[in-house]
Amino acid sequence: MNLRFIDWIWHVRGSMALSPDLSRDDAFDRLDPVFRQSGTRRERRDDTLVFTKRDQEAQDKMSVFDSGVLRLEQGVAGIVLHYRLISRALLFCFLAPFLFLGIAQLTIAIGNHQKAAAEAAAKAGTAPKKKPEKAVFPLNPIDKALGAPEPEDPKKKKDEDKLPSPTPAYVFAGLFAALYVIGRVLEDRLVRSLFRKRLAGA
Amino acid sequence: MNGTLVGKRLIGTQAPVTVGWENLPRVEGGPVKLFVFTWFQPAMLLGLIAFWFYAPNSIAKASTAIGIGIGFKALLLALEWVNPRFDSWRLTWKEAVTDLFYVGLGYTVLRLVDDYIGSDAVADYIQQGLHWDKLNWFMTLPLLLQAFIISFVFDFGQYWMHRGMHNWQPLWLTHAPHHYITQLNINKGAVGNPVELFLIGLGIGGFFDFLPRAALLAGTFGLAVGTYQHINVRFNSPRWWRFLFNTTEHHSVHHSQDYEASRSNYSGTWIIIDRLFGTCVDGEAELLGMEGGRPMSIRETMSYPFTEGWKSIRERFARPIAGEPVAVPAE
């Protein structure tokens, strides 16, 4: 299977033209501080810079990326920087919704199992005894004076269906899907802006 | 580093820790900003207590508490952008995703597990085994007193569980991953191995079923006080607040890279428990984490207690191989 069709999920690619007065060495020298971070190893060979990151710090501006290649190529109008950056964090975030959808299915399956077990126990007459009814306690006079509502009569309260709910898992699946879209766009833009600023000498 | 003597302990010999309220930076800005970041915490606590005290029965439910909890944390996330304590603790996309993953586990998988072997199961067991009339006296106390007792007793248990985690290797192995966080943000409290989160969560459910309004009021202390343990916001907390309650300052000391400092401020809500037992250090630290601030991946966080536990067992029970030199402690 050719991963090129799907590797955009965790690969960030881009290119930008260099200022005409910037040499290849100058360009890499300006980008160098970006890779002078704890846990980062970099290697420069001619027109190419390869880096890997391990245990990158949270505030490392490229902490979301684990490895990558930056290449300077001669274009029609001058030198162009091409980069391809690999992020396990993006892949993880892309897969997280599937994990939570799986958890939702597991929750439903456990709920069904509990329901079936309870029904079977009821048929067989081995259902667990009902909990003792709770007494109603009047409000303390201090609370009454302060205007707190009277407590609800527990007898009026309907037996709640205590089956586990898959809703939180669905919510988190949605949150991670949204976060993936945000991260894929945001990190792409942030790294582009970081390279542009460094190359401009900022 | 010389460190600062606090009681009999030298704090800050391995990593910088600022000791003493008078040495900490204050919120800077105009009168509105100063007013907001001085009174935000007491006002929210008071507002939430008033809400749960007066809310009609149809609203005073656990589901409302969950909704309020989510909304409150979203508000605090916004405050992290407005007035961060340290720029080195800024929330990045990667940090936000990682933190949310642990929060997600807490809301889903851990809840399922809790149904069977955790606090919910314990609560059921207690409810079936306990004679309710023994608790009648408690139910007739004023609501706020009930809430205080629930909150304080739970935090007292959590204090000793947490202190135990820092003093007994098997428990420490479950808690250690949480200490690899290198910055404090709203959802960092959820970061850690699920076994630890399960242990810390034990006992919460026990109260929830039989004292709804008092339990919701007690939960408010956790939300409107305990949440500030992990937050990147600078507040000018009033003196009485930081005397009674745990604060970001206290918890940053607990997460410091300095070993001695990390053995302080164990309580979740009531720092006065630490004061009672001599483990409170009033101060602040910016450099957090373990092993000089090495971040821990999700994979390692999940496996750490088991891999390190296995290593410890092997070291303890390993027999020396014939011919291999045996290490002898230095004189």
Residues of B in contact with A139 (CB under 8 A): 143
Q: Which two tokens stand for residue B304?
A: 């750490």
DSSP code at position B53: H
Q: Please check whether residue A62 is in contact with residue A194, taking contact to mean a CB–CB distance below 8 angstroms.
A: yes
Mutate one of A37, A114, A152 to test the B interface: name it (highest B CB count within 10 A): A152
Domain ranges of chain A: 3-88+181-199, 92-177
A58 lies within 8 A of chain B by CB: yes
What digits encode the pLDDT tens for the residues B241-264? 999 999 999 999 999 999 999 999
Residues B195, B178: Cα–Cα separation, whole Å: 11
Q: Please check whether residue B146 is in contact with residue B211, taking contact to mean a CB–CB distance below 8 angstroms.
A: yes
Distance from CA of A25 to the nearest CA of B (A): 31
Give residue A113's identity as a one-letter amino acid code: H
The CA distances from residue B123 to A160, B118, B130, B202, B250, in Å, are 16, 9, 10, 10, 32
| Higher local confidence (pLDDT), B232 or B120 | B232
Sign of CA dihedral A169, A171, A175, A177: positive
Mean per-residue pLDDT for B210-237?
90
Instruction: Quote the pLDDT of residue B207.
Output: 45
Smallest Cβ–Cβ distance between B108 and the set A103, A140, A152 belongs to A103
- Judged by CB atoms closer than 8 Å, whether chains meet at A172 and B100 is answered as yes
- Judged by CB atoms closer than 8 Å, whether chains meet at A58 and B295 is answered as yes
- Judged by CB atoms closer than 8 Å, whether chains meet at B141 and A140 is answered as yes
pLDDT at A89 over 90: yes
Q: Whose CA is closest to A190, among A48, A51, A72, A34? A: A34
pLDDT at A157 over 80: no
Between A136-145, B196-205, B217-226, the lowest mean confidence (pLDDT) is in B196-205
For the beta carbon of residue B326, count every other beta carbon within 10 angstroms: 6
Q: At what angle do helices B194-201 and B109-117 cross, to 10 degrees?
A: 50
What digits encode the pLDDT tens for the residues B84-138? 999 999 999 999 999 999 999 999 998 888 777 655 566 666 656 655 566 677 7
Average pLDDT score, chain B: 89
Distance from CA of B185 to the nearest CA of A (A): 12
pLDDT at B150 over 50: yes
What digits encode the pLDDT tens for the residues A104-125? 999 999 999 988 988 888 888 7
Instruction: Quote the pLDDT of residue B197.
Output: 79
The band of A69, judged by pLDDT with boundaries at 50, 70 and 90, is very high
Residues B296, B188: Cα–Cα separation, whole Å: 13
Q: Please check whether residue A65 is in contact with residue A41, taking contact to mean a CB–CB distance below 8 angstroms.
A: no
Residues of B in contact with A132 (CB under 8 A): 132
DSSP code at position B90: P
The band of A5, judged by pLDDT with boundaries at 50, 70 and 90, is confident
Q: Please check whether residue A17 is in contact with residue A78, taking contact to mean a CB–CB distance below 8 angstroms.
A: yes
pLDDT at A202 over 70: no
Query: Nearest residue of B to residue A58 by CA position?
Result: B95
pLDDT at B304 over 50: yes
Distance from CA of A106 to the nearest CA of B (A): 9
Winning range, highest mean pLDDT, from A67-76, B123-132, B195-204: A67-76
Mutate one of A38, A54, A59 to test the B interface: name it (highest B CB count within 10 A): A59
Whose structure tokens read 């930008």?
A: A16
- Judged by CB atoms closer than 8 Å, whether chains meet at A148 and B139 is answered as no
Query: Nearest residue of A to residue B108 by CA position?
Result: A169
Mean per-residue pLDDT for B73-88?
95
Mean per-residue pLDDT for A127-133?
63
pLDDT at A156 over 60: yes
Domain ranges of chain B: 4-312
Query: Nearest residue of B to residue A164 by CA position?
Result: B112
What is the widest separation between alpha-carbon atoms in chain A? Answer: 88
Between B266-275, B305-314, B320-329, the lowest mean confidence (pLDDT) is in B320-329
Mean per-residue pLDDT for A43-48?
92
What ipTM does this complex have?
0.90
| Topology given in CATH for the domain delimited by A3-88+181-199 | Alpha-D-Glucose-1,6-Bisphosphate; Chain A, domain 4 (3.30.530)
Residues A113, A110: Cα–Cα separation, whole Å: 5
pLDDT at A135 over 50: yes
Query: Nearest residue of A to residue B137 by CA position?
Result: A137
pLDDT at B208 over 50: no
Chain center to CA of B150 = 17
What digits encode the pLDDT tens for the residues B26-51? 999 999 999 999 999 999 999 999 99
Q: Which two tokens stand for residue A143?
A: 């609370």
Instruction: Quote the pLDDT of residue B91.
Output: 96
For chain B, how big is the Rg over CA atoms in Å?
21
Mean per-residue pLDDT for B2-8?
91
DSSP code at position B23: G
- Judged by CB atoms closer than 8 Å, whether chains meet at A100 and B108 is answered as yes
Residues B186, A202: Cα–Cα separation, whole Å: 32
Instruction: Quote the pLDDT of residue B127.
Output: 58
